Homo-oligomer: A and B are copies of this chain.
Amino acid sequence: MITIYDIAKEANVSAMTVSRVINNADNVSDKTREKVESIIKKMNYMPNSSARSLVSKKTKLLSLLVTDIANPFFTSVARGAEDKAMQMGYQLMLCNSDENVEKESKYIDMLISTRIDGALIAPANDSSQKSILKLSKYNIPVVLIDRHIKGLKCDQVLSDNETTTRRLMEHLIQQGHKKIAIINGPLDIATARERHQAYCDTLTLYGLVINPNLIQQSHFFHDSDFSDAIQQMFQLPTNEQPTAIFATSNFLGINTVKSLKKHHIKVPEEVAVVCYDGVPNYTDSELFLTAAEQPSYHFGYMGAQMLIERIENTAPEEPRTIVLPAEFNIRASSLHKIE
């Protein structure tokens, strides 16, 4: 492996001069610079980042720690984060926690050892706080994505859970729905908690009752199954049965519609469905599910930008929170007025 010393010897200069050349220091004569540069090219020299990092204490490495890159929301976040990282000269490491705090913690330990310059994290749940604080102990800045953690002060890019939920609910209420169910993720995840709260608040705001039988918790994975929960709701006395369902995530939305179909319940005629977050359209036809679509690419892009600003000390000291608005796409799944 070629080092700075090989170049130095070949060019008849000191290693320090070579270092100056590759770092574009200004106190190198043009003649020397040209000579060194030509030898670097000839010998195909590339500086060793480990050696550099050891001295500089910077790795130019960021990490994106999400629950599952295969969730299209995070796929797009990754793309955005990577674009910004590359643009700013950073590389991005990918980690999937599977919403598992132990796995997440193991990753974070690895990331600390790697001495990444910063981390973009969509935490598994509230108890991720411990691992994240560990990063802080190592002065590794963190930007939270999508899910914040109560009591944890750091930069974050979040969705406007309150407004977006309310607007989805209002859409249903305007269509005449009074018995609206919610299918949600675990309440130890901020997004689930806030969407739950906003769901309750909106019902109250419009003078509707909050029926615990219409509140179901599942999880946010792709294969969340709550066929039983659905069935249960539709075995309630008729006056309790929901006429609309609010699903709090892309996969929950899809699986809700699938479950309903399985139980031969017609959407939207018998029950309307709205969904927080959307999915890419890989079909030739229009999408079916009414969704508040999040600008997921920007979650990653803005997140990476904030992170790099933090790393490079160009950010204000006070932690910043960016709230990105969703885009509402009213579609067939909720287009059926009831009286």
Contacts and interface: CB of A to CB of B under 8 A. Distances in A.
A107 B44 CA distance: 16
A53 B261 CA distance: 55
A75 interface: yes
Interface residues of A, number: 57
Given A283-B254, A284-B254, A288-B284, A113 B82 contact: no
A72 B53 CA distance: 35
Interface of A: 1, 44, 46-51, 53-54, 57, 59, 61, 64, 68-70, 72, 75-76, 78-79, 82-83, 86, 91-96, 107, 109-115, 134, 137-138, 250, 254, 257-258, 261, 267, 279-280, 282-285, 287-289
A108 to B, nearest CB: 10
Given A76-B70, A91-B114, A138-B46, A83 B54 contact: no
Contacts of A257: 284
A124 to B, nearest CB: 15
Nearest to A107: B86
A262 to B, nearest CB: 10
A75 B82 contact: no
B46 A54 contact: no
Given A75-B75, A82-B96, A47 B283 contact: no
Nearest to A254: B282
B91 A92 contact: no
Nearest to A284: B257
Contacts of A261: 284
A270 to B, nearest CB: 14
A54 B113 CA distance: 14
Contact of A69 (B1, B78, B112): B78
Given A115-B50, A137-B44, A94 B92 contact: yes
